[in-house]
Every structure is written in C-alpha cells, then in structure tokens.
Structure 1
Amino acid sequence: MSLVLSVCGGRPISQVSFRVGGPVRSTMQDAGLQIRGLLEHGSRVFATSTIVTATAEGHSTATFAKAGRNAARLAHALRALGVAEGDRVATFMWNNQQHVEAYFAVPAMGAVIHPLNIRLFPQQVVHIANHAEDQVVIVDDSLLPAFLPMLSGLSSVRCVIVNGSADLSAVRAQGVEAYSYDMLLRGQPDSYPWPDVDERSAAAMCYTSGTTGDPKGVVYSHRSIYLHSIAATLPDAIALSRRDLALAVVPQFHVLAWSLPYAAFLTGASLAMPDRFLAPEPLAAFIAAVRPTKGLGVPTVWGNLLRFVEAHPEIDISSMKEIGSGGAATPESMTRAYAERHGITLMQGWGMTETSPLGTFARPLAGAGAEGASAHRAGQGRFCAGVEARLIDPHDEVLPWDDISVGELQVRGPWVTGSYYGEDAGTQADRFSDGWLRTGDVGRISPDGWLTLTDRMKDVIKSGGEWISSVELENHLAGHPAVVEACVIGVPDDRWGERPLACVVLAGDPVDASELKGFLGDRIARWQLPERWVFLPAIAMTTTGKYDKRALREQYAQEALKVVMA
C-alpha cells in the first residue's frame, strides 16, 4: 500500500523527487559586534547626551561627543606608549568621565581594559595585576597615595597615567614612566582609525572578589559585552533610553559597572558618575543637584541613602523613579520603604562576575497587584533572554521549575564565562559542569522562570539534616523597625551539627534577643529560630558590598564575638 500525498500531485511518495542541496545560508552582512560600534554610535547619534561627574566643587559635564573625541586621543596616546593589541591596560579609578573614556578607548583600539578593585587589600591588588600582566595603569589622583605603596610589587607595569593634578616624581622614583592624563591627551588627534577586531577577542577583564580563595579572572569579549548591554536595556530589565539619566553607584571595577557605560552609549541614556563622593550626604546632594532618573548599586548604599534622606527630608531625591540593586539580597522592608515613602521602585537582580553580571531582573509583572508585586520583589527576578538555567540536586539530577524544588543554580549563555583566565581545566573543574557554570547559589525557579535564591552553597545552614536559609532569616530580621543590618551565619553545634548565629546592628532602640526571636517566631518555623545572637556596631563588608561571613565565622571560632543566648 502506497502513501499518497495530494500536495505531491497524487503521486506515491516514493515517486516524488526533491531537490538535494547544501544548507541554506543567510544573506545577512557579517558585521561584528564590537566596542568601537558602541562608541561610534553613542558619540555620533547621541552626541548631546552627557556624562555628569561629581566634584569637590559640584559637578562637571561632558557630552558623549566630547568623550568620544577624548577616547580617540587616549587611544593615540596609548599607542604611542607602545600599547598593542591584547595588552592589558588597568584602571585604579572612581566612577568618572575619564574612566568611561578609558572603557571605550582601550578595547576599541584592540587592547584589554582591566578595572582594578580599589577596595581590595594591597596584596590582592598586586596579585591580580601581576596575574593579568597589566602594562599600563590609569590612576585617579585621589587614589595615588593608596596606589604608590603597591607599585614596586607590580612586575609588569611600566607606565602610570594619573588623572588629575598630582606630583608624578614619586612614581618616577620607582623606575616607572609617569604621565598626566590631561597632558598626555593634549595635542592628540580627536579621531582614531579603530581596527576591525574579532568580536570574540578579549575586550575587558574583571576578577572575582576572592571571598573563598584567590580572586579569579574573567575575560569578556566584544561580543559578550555588546549582547549583555542590549539585554540590560530591555524593558523588563533596566529599561534604559535617551530620556534617562542613570546614576552609576555600582563601581566601574565591579563587573564593568554592570555594563552601564556601554548600555548608555547604546541607548543615549546620560550618565551620572559620583566619583569618590559615595557617603550618604554627598550622594544625596549629587542626586538633588543633577536629578538622575534611575540608579544602580548594592543594597548597602541604598540602605544608607534611605536612612539619610529620611533623617533629612529637605533633601529632594524625587527625580529617582527606579533603583536597580544587586550584589546581595535586598531586604523587602527597604524595598517597601522606598516605594511607600518616596515613590521609588527598587528592584533587585541576580548575577556574578562570571555572568557579566546580568542573569535575572525582578521587574514587577504587569497586573500582578500589590501582593503579587511584593512577592516577586522578594525574589531575584526572571531570567534574561539568552541565559539558560537549571537546578541540580545533590545527586546531580535536574530539578523541575515548580517554585518548590530547591537545588544549586547552574547557567550558561553568550555572556557567561566558560573558564577562568590563566587556570588549567583541573583547577576549575568544580565550577563548570558539561558546559554549565556552577554558580554556588541555591534556590528555586517558578514555571515562568522567576528565580528565588535561598542561600549560597557555602552559607546554607545544615541543621540536623535540614537546611536553614541564612538569606531568609536576614530578610525577616531586616523587617524589624529597630534593625539596621542583619547577617546570619552557621556555627558548629554539638547536637545539630550547625545552628544559626544572628549578627545584628540596631538603630539605637533598646531591643533584646528575646524580642527579635519572638518577631521571627511569627514568620519562620520554630526549629529554624536562632539561639545565638550578637549585637554589633557594624558588620564587616566585602569589597563588593556583601556581608563578610567568612570574617564573622573566624571571629566566632576565636571567641571574639560576645554571644547572647536566647
């Protein structure tokens, strides 16, 4: 019996012949995704968009067109200094106009921009710069005193460029060339023949914070930065446009300021750069003066700003409509305070140095209502297009997206790293699995792709065979009106293996451990309640604005914390 298809004219299918040929290729032009494209687009199409930088006298302003011309001048100057394709040019700088210029000039000329973390211990900075083989370092004059003691240990650095007015003789005394940024650019051509570099070649590199060992290097390509910048600007993410003035509180050394400078040149959104003026008072004054519409930063900065403006209601931050928060969990109480008392939508996201960093963003769903929006704000948000995710249980089985099953989060995508710089496969096998990045985060995913993290693998508290989420305890504690900060760690316990220790900073009101334990009792299971409490004047932070839990564990082990039992 023959199968006859009418579409084939009624002939038996065995009698139908088909044209056999190779795969069909597209007719699209093969144009690369390069940083030079973002630079040329932003400085021409959005020539009048601006970079506003905080200064001791107020603020300075430069257009994207001017920044583009300066980027060309910087590229000429670096080329004259011998910087070639693939060479690493480091920065030791605050967020400012000149740092943005370097962000574009260095990769667009074919070299690699490497922002150094100015808040790391000196020995870590030296290790990172030597590991990356940085050849040139651009340093802000206000940071030169901190940088100079490290210079003798930088084995590959041969030239230092100082942004601002500073005595260069101290640099030259160590046998290193030294130049003034302004003088170096003076007289250079304001256009540059940007090379057509391979979009997969290195454009930038950043190092992890090193909270669990030596910092690890991640090298971003032109292509990954370009695609990440597009994803960051989409309506369900940061939603940038030329109508925005975006406040970059997140440091430029922290995962390329979450690609904000590149996203700004892509969309025409102006940039507000606070430089070194990050304390609550000058930051609030900067916001009141330049009127940004959006901001990006870590939760501790937004918490400090909130407390300051509520103590000084005369400071007007009403221009801010949205805040993006990341790097650590954002307390729901802070999100609610910004929304209810200031009309500002605070949204958190999830990401890592290894993910460029954007992986998810928690923009409230349309029509979710107040209760639904609040529930979603408590999570890390929906995965961005391009980021694939899966949850893995302790037996390496893939878990369902049912908003119930909890496992380790693994991701992959075009802006997710597949390895660490300068490390062989054997030393990093524990972080990569079959092409997936093992994030070390623990959480659950809803059927529609909304991520809720419950802890880090290294921070989850294993008590009597059950897991207790330190993040959940911290968020609940932060909801108490007397609590300014709360950090929870697991400590050894003879009976249960591990139990939670709650470290709390109070606003000044006389609140004891029993009251806080009672406050938690209405929100979590009884067996999860901490028995051990510590009240501190402040909680140590890592360089990326996260609680330094490793330091707290060490202090507990050394009996350096005054523990109260409740």
Structure 2
Amino acid sequence: MTQNTSLPESTIDQHTQPASVTEYANLCQHLVNAAMHSPDLLAVAVQQAKGNGQYQYQELTFAELDKQSDELAYKLNASGIKQGMKAVLMVTPSIAFFNLTFALFKAGIIPILVDPGMGINNLKQCFIEAKPDAFIGIPKAHIARRVLGWGKDSVKYCINVGGNRFQRWLAGCLSIESLKQVNGTQYNRYPMVKLAEDEMAAILFTSGSTGTPKGVVYSHKMFEAQISALKHDYGISVGERDLATFPLFSLFGPALGMASIVPDMDASKPITAEPKHLFAAISQYQCSNMFVNPALLERLGQAGEQTQHKLTSVKRVISAGAPATISSIKRFSKMLESKVEVLNSYGATESLPISKIASSALFATTDKTDQGAGICVGQAIEGVEIAIIDIVEPPIAHWTDNLALATDQIGEIVVKGAMVSQAYYQRDSATAGAKIQDGTQMRHRMGDVGYLDANNQLWMCGRKAHRVDASVKGQFEKRYFSIPCERVFNTHAQVKRSALVPVTIDGNVVPLVCIELNKGVVCSTSKVLYQNLVELATLYPHTQGISRFFIHPEFPVDVRHNAKIFREKLAIWAQKQWKE
C-alpha cells in the first residue's frame, strides 16, 4: 500500500452550488449530533460470555464512537482506501464493527455487506459482481478469501480485524491496529463526506434464501427513511437501549440516539443463540427494545417458558425477516408486561419496513389465517404506498394507476416510498424485472403475492415463485398459493409445517403438499393423517383439488430465520419420490 497523508477528498466541496431539488446527506450526521449533545451517553455495549454466568462488556459512549470512527476514517484514507471505493466488510458484531462501519460511511467508502450464511458459491459470486477494492474482515474471512479466491481480480487493500497472532498470520494482511497514522496521533474532526440523496452509499446483498443473492444499492436517503420510520412509526426515542441481534439494525441504534447492546451470539445463526446470554444482557442494561427474527423469538420464548423468565424492562419487540408463528409470539409474550406488543414488520432488503402489525391485532386474525386468508402484515407505515398488480413475469417499464387491482384481489405486491431501493448493483435485468418507473421514483415488485382488504390492511399469501398453476394437457386449470393452502393443513395437530409444491404426473402439473410432522408422531399414523388432510382440503375453495401428500423427515430451511422453506428443493424431492 502507498502512504497518503493528505486529507480525504469530500464531495461537499465538489457540490458548492447544488441544484435546489437535490439534497446531500450522510447517516453519520446523527452520530455526530449525538456526540455533541449527549457525549457521555452509552452508544454501544458488546457482551462476551466468560462462563459460570460471568460476562464482560466493552462499551463506547457516543463521543468515543464518533472520535474513534473519525480516527479510523483518516487511517483508511492514509492507507489508500478513499471515497468512492468499495470495501467488503466481514466483521462480527463488535466495537470494531461499529467503528469501521461509521468510518466507512463518514469517508464515503461504500461498504459491501453480505450474509455469511448464504453459502460459499453465492459469496464468491457476490464478490465477482461487486468488484470490491478493499476486503476488511476477521481472520476466518481472510483465510476463506485466500483459499477460495474471493475478490482476487479487484481487491487491492486487505485489512484484518482481531484474532490471535497465528490467525493474523494466516490472514496474511495488514491488521487494523497497524493502519498508517496521519500527522502523528492527533486528529481533528473528520470532514464527513455527504452524498446526493440517490448516490450509492452501500451495497447490501440479499440472503439468497429465495433465489440468487443480488446486491441492493442503498443510498443515504434510504437510510434516512428507515431511521425516520423507526423514530416515528415505531416510537423509538433518544436514551433507549436495544438488544441488537441483527448487525444492520444495530447500526440504527447510534443513529437514533439509542444504545445498541450486542449479545454474545452468532448473528448469522440465531437459532444457536444461548438464551441466558441474551437475558443477561437485557438485565444488565435494562433494554427497552428488542429486534428478533422468528427463529430467535421461538428459541427465547421456549427458554422463558421453561424458566418463567420475565423481561420487565422491555417496552417494544420488533420481529422481521419472515412471518413468525402465532404460537411463537404468544409463547414469547408471556415474558413481557401485559401491554407490551410484538410488532411484526413486513419488508425486504430492497424495501424495509413497509408495513407493521401489533401482536394483539395479529391474534385477532388467527381464525382467518387458519382458514386460508393469508397472513395479515398490517397497514403501510407513513410515507409508503402499497398496490397490488396482476401476476405477470415480464418487466413493467412504467407505472399507471390502472395496473392496480381492486380490494381483495390477489396479485403481486408493489411498494413505493423513500426507503425503497432504486436498483440492483450490476444487475440490469434484475432491476428491470423488479422495478417500475413512477415519475422520479421507482416502485418495487416485492416478488410476494397478497391483497389489500377493505380496511387497507395487507395480507401476504406467499412468494410469487411458490404458487402452483395446475394444468391438464398444458391448459391452465387452477392457481394455488402457498400460505393460504399450507395454513389450512398446519391446523392439524400432528403437522409441524407444510409446503405446497408442483409435481408433473403424466404431463399434467398438479399440486402436492409436503408434510413435516411434529416430534413424536410416528409414520404408522400416516394413513389416518392422509384421510384427515384430504378432508381438510375439501373444506375451502382454495385447497379443493389438493389430494396428494408426502411426509418429509425435516424441511430444508434458511439458517438465519429457520422459517423460509426451500420449496424448490422440496419440489425436486417430491418429483423424485413420485417417480419412485
């Protein structure tokens, strides 16, 4: 690396005469403001379990986080990593993660954030597409980078974070502690880069749980809209403390004046979390907010039920990533005070949050959901417009109001708002297939199907790709949607979960439902179970015609949420089983 001790370039100077319609922003301005007005307030605390019920916590105040990220931004620039470059960030939630992320944003360096759980092949493809200039990661990530050739054609700068001496040696690159200094050790405030509202500020890759991972282009305008939603629609206020179990959400804490309390857990595999660690962190810091995905909600709820644990300080729980089951929410809610709600958020990496519904309102929809009405995901948050369009595959170039379907008609969910992404990175065809131009904004096709009811509540009916279009001799016969069908069969006491898939029999496409049984249910009961399921199918118009069921030992599901069923894999399995 070549040393560069000059101050970083800033787009502030490049845009001294901005057009009146253009705004410039950087989400780090919220951290800077918090450091000025509440310098000693806690910003971050990271838990480390020491065994025997003992814990150690590393803490940063807002002033410390602001100062340390300023210093790191200077060092990154001095080491050759400058504004406009792209940097892969594969660092576990830690003090270093917060310092690095805010330093990158301050310097106008574009972080590339990927989910390690997406698989080796997907990770390599992500780096091929993103063409990162720098790779910042823990030793394990660097070892994988060297062995598997991640980013070998584009990465010029490598920085290792953490690990012992041997691990750092294996990483084979500069450590974060040895980054070049600028003018000794004295640093002035970093001249924070500000970008135009739609300029690329970050690339966040989708998980790939329902298809090939795609890089979503994030702007500071999107981040600002998400911060605004958390502040106004979810009521988060300065001084709160959040149990942060998802890295991206944890970054919003300091931006909201809320402390992010990071528990000792693998954020990419929440199902493996130790509930006692999380309970200890909540108790230590009296957390008022929690962000948990369905897998963690279920795990914590089970642990709380066994120990009769209570979360007396928690005033708000936000669940997102996949629909949580009613039983999981009810079990978890036993730990909460009577009036505390679990807020279920709907959205995607490309557009989050879109709508929300409180647990008490969700419970009131249980009967309709069990009868196949879909899952109610609530009403749009402020500033978001939701519409339903016909289920079609080709791109739609321009939006017109006559594309919108009427109330109670199932179609693809389309959203518009400030937090909606405008494009995928280096994926023109994917952008064309998912975006609809509407004036100066893009509407996003969610890839989910659903409908709006008479009260303007959104009901989700599954992924568009998971519908089954039954046909006879090549002629369309009937359309089946995953969630409305599956929820009917999930009401059976012996069924843990079900999955609708298509199979081809004698050239005809027919619906088949894979069944995963509850633990302890033996296969000898399958004949009676089959009769029960056939009877259930006859009760509702949307399940009539389903008469084929296969019992599967354990569904393939995504690691992070333990709720997104890989129906594509089940479809291949079911087709093979039928032929055998």
TM range (shorter): 0.7 to 0.9
Q: Is the 8 A contact 2:25 2:194 kept in 1?
A: no
Closer, same or farther: CA 161–456 of 1 in aligned 2, 3 Å: same
Q: Which runs of 5+ in 1 are unaligned?
A: 1-27
AA in 1 matched with 2:364: E
Partner of 1:398: 403
Question: Which amino acid counterpart does residue 110 of structure 1 have in structure 2?
Answer: G
Structure 1 window deviating more from structure 2 (225-234 vs 149-158): it is: 149-158
Structure-1 residue corresponding to 2:24? 32
**TM-score w.r.t. structure 1 length?**
0.80
How big is the shift at 1:212?
5.8
Show the counterpart of 1:431.
Answer: 434
**What is the match of residue 331 of structure 2?**
337
2:552 aligned residue: 535
Other structure's SS at 2:192 match: coil
Q: Deviations over 1:243-271 (max 9, x none)?
A: 53222223x3xxx33xx523x23332211
* Unaligned ranges ≥5, structure 2: 1-19, 397-401, 472-476
Q: Cα distance, 1:279 vs. partner?
A: 4.6
CA deviation after TM superposition for structure 1 residue 362, in Å: 1.4
Q: Which amino acid aligns with 1:351?
A: G
Q: CA deviation at 1:205?
A: 0.9
Native 8 Å contact 1:43 1:265 kept in 2: no
Q: Does 1:64 align with 2:96?
A: no
Matches within 5 A, 1:29-428: 32-47=24-39, 48-57=41-50, 58=55, 59-141=57-139, 143-151=141-149, 154-166=152-164, 167-172=167-172, 177-181=173-177, 187=185, 189=187, 191-211=189-209, 214-235=212-233, 238-250=234-246, 252=247, 256-257=248-249, 260-262=250-252, 264-274=253-263, 276-277=265-266, 278-279=270-271, 282-291=274-283, 292-310=287-305, 312-313=306-307, 315-340=309-334, 342-343=336-337, 345-355=341-351, 357-363=352-358, 371=364, 378-394=375-391, 398-400=403-405, 402=407, 404-424=408-428, 428=431
- d(CA) in 1 for partners of 2:359, 2:368: 9
CA separation of 1:341 and 1:106: change in aligned 2, threshold 3 A: closer
Aligned equivalents of 2:492 and 2:177: distance in 1? 49
Deviation at 1:354, TM superposition (A): 1.5
Identity score, percent = 19
1:551 counterpart = 2:569: yes
Which string of whole-angstrom CA distances, capped at 9 and with x for unpartnered residues, describes residues 130-175 of structure 1? 3212122221346555554334653212233222233322233xxx
Change (3 A) 1:370 1:410: closer
**1:415 Cα deviation from its structure 2 partner:** 2.2
Residues 140-149 or 157-166, more deviating: 140-149
Please state whether the residue corresponding to 1:467 is helix, strand or coil: strand
Preserved contact between residue 285 and residue 315 of structure 1 (Cα < 8 Å) = no
Q: Note the alpha carbon deviations across 1:368-411, whole angstroms, 9 max, x for none.
A: 69736987994112112222221112489534552x21111112
The alpha-carbon deviation at position 452 of structure 1 amounts to 0.7
Residues 502 and 530, structure 1, Cα contact 8 Å, conserved in 2: no
User: What is the number of equivalent residue pairs in this alignment?
Assistant: 516
| C-alpha spacing 1:420/1:134, structure 2 compared with 1 (3 Å) | same
Per the alignment, do residues 337 and 379 of structure 1 end up closer, same or farther by CA in structure 2, a change over 3 Å counting?
same
Q: What is the root-mean-square deviation of aligned Cα atoms in Å?
A: 3.5
CA contact (8 A) 2:26 2:220 kept: yes
Distance verdict in 2 for CA 1:116–1:359, change over 3 Å? same
Distance of aligned partners of 1:190 and 1:300 in 2 relative to their CA distance in 1, 3 Å threshold: farther
1:463-474 matches, within 5 Å, as 463=470, 465-474=477-486
Conserved? CA contact 1:542–1:548, under 8 Å: no
- Offset at residue 80 of structure 1 (A): 0.9
Q: Is the 8 A contact 1:281 1:308 kept in 2?
A: no
Q: 1:146 to 1:475 in 2, by over 3 A?
A: farther
Q: Is the 8 A contact 1:517 1:530 kept in 2?
A: no
Provide closer, same or farther for how the CA distance between residues 351 and 169 of structure 1 changes in structure 2, counting only shifts above 3 A.
same
| In structure 1, C-alpha distance between the alignment counterparts of 2:312 and 2:552, rounded to whole Å | 34
- Residue type of the partner of 1:518? N
Distance 1:455 1:471 in 2: 5
Judge conservation of contact 2:46–2:261 (CA < 8 Å) in 1.
yes
Q: Which has the larger radius of gyration?
A: 1
TM-score by length of 2: 0.78
Match of 2:16 in 1: none
Q: 1:399 to 1:346 in 2, by over 3 A?
A: same
